[in-house]
Amino acid sequence: MTTGLWELVLKGIWTTVQLLVLSALLAAAVSFVAGVARTHRLWIVRFLAGFYTEVFRGTSALVMIFWVFFVLPPAFGWQLVPMWAGTLALGLTYGAYGSEIVRGALKAVDPAQQEGGIALSFTPWQRMRLILLPQAVPEMIPPFSNLLIELLKGTALVSVMGMGDLAFSGNLVRLALQESAEIYTYLLLIYFVIAFLLTRVMRELEKRLKAGVGKAPTRKVVTEPGPVSAGVGVGVGGGS
């Protein structure tokens, strides 16, 4: 490829990364708000959070992008630029999936921890901030990592708005060179590299968070067995 075409691909990568970061931040905020709301003691709060989750989980992200970019402008008299339209559609859609991750992790915390906070006269917010979230957040990281990778792949959908992301730029290069196999192979590799880097970052974050609550994996120290008296058997792995 020529230098100009590579510059087009690099601009597409930068646009994809920007969209990924912005939509991930929105999705994370929505996930925690809706996920915590689904554990609220008031039924109306749980109902509204559940309604949002079901609606956005049950609709296509592609259709949501079309709706935000093409339906909202004539309905409300304003137009979102493609970056913000894509961020809003993807953030709300993937935030609905994330809210279930948050709700499940909060429910998985030992009920005795909650009861201990009540015994200490903690308010519901104090119990959530000081007891539940510190234990639940490390358990959210692996599923959030998977969701982040899915969001990365979902950013390719914004190309339908003519937004110059990686998928859109790659298609322009393909049309210019008439080389589908080569260009799409490059795109697959670029998406893979970004996803791999995200996975490593999330794994490191998981280790740090678990270390903060005393759940870091411990190394097993293997020592050389000492002399064994005659007639004494040595068990391996706790077997009988």
Q: How far is CA 188 from CA 141, 165, 180, 195, 236, in A?
A: 25, 14, 12, 11, 46
User: Is the pLDDT assigned to residue 211 strictly greater than 50?
Assistant: yes
Q: How far apart are CA 211 and CA 207, in angstroms?
A: 6
CA pseudo-torsion sign 139, 142, 143, 144: positive
Q: How far apart are CA 59 and CA 103, in angstroms?
A: 20
Q: How far is CA 141 from CA 81, 112, 201, in A?
A: 31, 23, 11
Do 147 and 195 meet the contact criterion of CB atoms below 8 Å apart?
no
pLDDT on residue 176: 84
Over the stretch 28-84, which tens digit does the pLDDT of each residue have?
Answer: 999 999 999 999 889 999 999 999 999 999 988 999 998 988 888 777 777 788 899
- Supply the mean pLDDT for the chain: 84
Average pLDDT for residues 6-26, to the nearest whole number? 92
Task: Using pLDDT thresholds of 50, 70 and 90, give the confidence band for residue 216.
Answer: low
Average pLDDT for residues 144-171, to the nearest whole number? 90
Task: Using pLDDT thresholds of 50, 70 and 90, give the confidence band for residue 236.
Answer: very low
User: Is the pLDDT assigned to residue 218 strictly greater than 70?
Assistant: no
pLDDT on residue 213: 66
Higher pLDDT, 228 or 94: 94
Structure letter (DSSP) for residue 131: I
Cα 11 from chain centroid (whole Å): 24
Average pLDDT for residues 156-172, to the nearest whole number? 87
Task: Write a three-state SS string for 183-218.
Answer: HHHHHHHHHHHHHHHHHHHHHHHHHHHHHHCCCCCC
Residue in this structure with the two tokens 């539940």, named with its chain if needed: 132
Report residue 206 as tokens. Answer: 């998981």
pTM (two decimals)? 0.82
Q: How far apart are CA 16 and CA 92, in angstroms?
A: 17
Q: How far apart are CA 208 and CA 236, in angstroms?
A: 32
Amino acid at 39: T
User: Is the pLDDT assigned to residue 194 strictly greater than 80?
Assistant: yes
Q: How many CB atoms lie within 10 A of CB 56?
A: 21
User: Is the pLDDT assigned to residue 155 strictly greater than 90?
Assistant: yes
User: Is the pLDDT assigned to residue 238 strictly greater than 70?
Assistant: no
pLDDT on residue 1: 64
136-155 as b/e: b if 16+ CB within 10 A: bbbbbbebbbebbbebbebb
Average pLDDT for residues 108-126, to the nearest whole number? 84
